[in-house]
């Protein structure tokens, strides 16, 4: 099968029938054990966006990761048109592989006609992207770490504050830009630097993901992803985060729950 080498190609879905699409996996999938959840989420949002009236853009989604995605199969996306109202459209998308649902998403789209504005207190100080360390070798993204991935007192800690953008320019289409934001929103974990006693690591498989898109923003320009832990309960961890542009404008908010694995019991030394 063919693999997409940039995010624009990842979001260029192939129409199969009315409300049925097929998406290519990213080239990064070749070195992963399963599909990146952000890819499936972004493709599901794009499939939904293909079915709404002109002028409506996504403002929220809630998705459930049900099965690991296979890297050797494309993703088929089935859209149900739940409702089209005067200002809002609701869609339900199922992402399938080999006849099984791997991801289920509800998404809402609106005209965005209201002009009322309120902004939060603003971001924490951070150095500009050029002053931060590069992270990873993802062909689709550029990532700079504000907090560092490092080992502290024998424990692996991960960055929870990042500058991110796509590695290649994206079309001006606001639907493509919004779906690319959904891709970026699944990076990292808010528990990357928080030690939870009795667990082997802070990043486990994702259970569900919620995203609220407040303002149009370009995913091929630098955005700050700030994540923080919210609550850990037996077996699960919930974190929240925000995406801001370089001017500090809040463009999206997110929340995700993922599994926490118990530390393996080591056999006594002989």
- As a whole number of angstroms, the distance between CA 23 and CA 183 comes to 14
In the numeric block, the tokens 């993703």 are attached to: 75
Retrieve residue 187's tokens: 């990076």
**Is residue 121, in this structure, part of any structural domain at all?**
no
**Is residue 265, in this structure, part of any structural domain at all?**
no
116-157 pLDDT per residue, tens? 677 776 777 889 999 898 887 788 999 999 998 888 887 788
The whole domain housing 58 covers 7-111+129-259
**Is residue 63, in this structure, part of any structural domain at all?**
yes
Q: Give me the number of domains the chain comprises.
A: 1
Kindly report the pTM of this predicted structure. Answer: 0.91
Residues 81-98, buried b or exposed e (16+ Cβ, 10 A)? eeeeeeeebbbebbbbbe
**Is residue 270, in this structure, part of any structural domain at all?**
no
Retrieve residue 74's tokens: 């494309």
Query: How many C-alpha atoms does 219 have within 13 Å on its Cβ side?
Result: 27
In the numeric block, the tokens 């990043």 are attached to: 203
Q: What is the CATH number of the domain that holds 183?
A: 2.40.160.210
Retrieve residue 66's tokens: 């049900």
Cα distance between the two ends of the chain: 50
Nearest residue to 59 via CA among 68, 49, 50: 49
168-196 pLDDT per residue, tens? 999 999 999 999 999 999 999 898 888 77
Q: Say which residues have a Cβ less than 8 Å from residue 121's Cβ, sequence separation at least 6.
A: none
- With a cut of 60, say whether residue 79 has pLDDT above it: yes
In the numeric block, the tokens 């592989």 are attached to: 97
Residues 219-241, buried b or exposed e (16+ Cβ, 10 A)? bbebbbbbbebeebeeeebbbbb
192-220 pLDDT per residue, tens? 888 777 665 556 789 999 999 999 999 99
**Is residue 193, in this structure, part of any structural domain at all?**
yes
């Amino acid at each position: 099968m063919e693999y997409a080498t940039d995010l624009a190609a990842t979001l260029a879905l192939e129409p199969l029938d009315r409300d049925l699409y097929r998406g290519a996996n990213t080239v990064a999938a070749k070195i992963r054990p399963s599909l990146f959840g952000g890819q499936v989420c972004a493709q599901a949002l794009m499939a939904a966006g293909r079915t709404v009236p002109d002028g409506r853009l996504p403002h929220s989604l809630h998705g459930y990761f049900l099965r690991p995605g296979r890297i050797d199969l494309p993703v088929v996306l089935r859209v149900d048109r739940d409702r089209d109202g005067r200002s809002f459209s609701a869609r339900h998308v199922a992402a399938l592989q080999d006849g099984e649902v791997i991801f289920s998403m509800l998404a809402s789209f609106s005209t965005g006609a209201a002009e009322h504005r309120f902004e939060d207190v603003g971001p924490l100080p951070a150095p500009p992207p050029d002053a931060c360390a590069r992270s990873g070798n993802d062909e689709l993204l550029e990532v700079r770490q504000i907090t560092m991935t490092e080992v502290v007192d024998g424990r692996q800690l991960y960055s929870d504050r990042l500058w991110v953008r796509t590695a290649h320019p994206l079309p001006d289409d606001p639907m493509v830009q919004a779906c690319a934001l959904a891709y970026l929103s699944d990076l990292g974990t808010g528990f990357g630097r928080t030690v939870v006693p009795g667990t082997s690591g802070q990043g486990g498989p994702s259970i569900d993901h919620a995203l609220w898109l407040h303002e149009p923003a370009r995913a091929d320009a630098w955005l700050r992803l700030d994540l923080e832990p919210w609550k850990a309960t037996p077996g699960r961890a919930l974190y929240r985060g925000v995406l801001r542009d370089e001017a500090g404008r809040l463009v999206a908010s997110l929340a995700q729950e993922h599994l926490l694995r118990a530390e393996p019991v080591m056999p006594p030394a002989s």
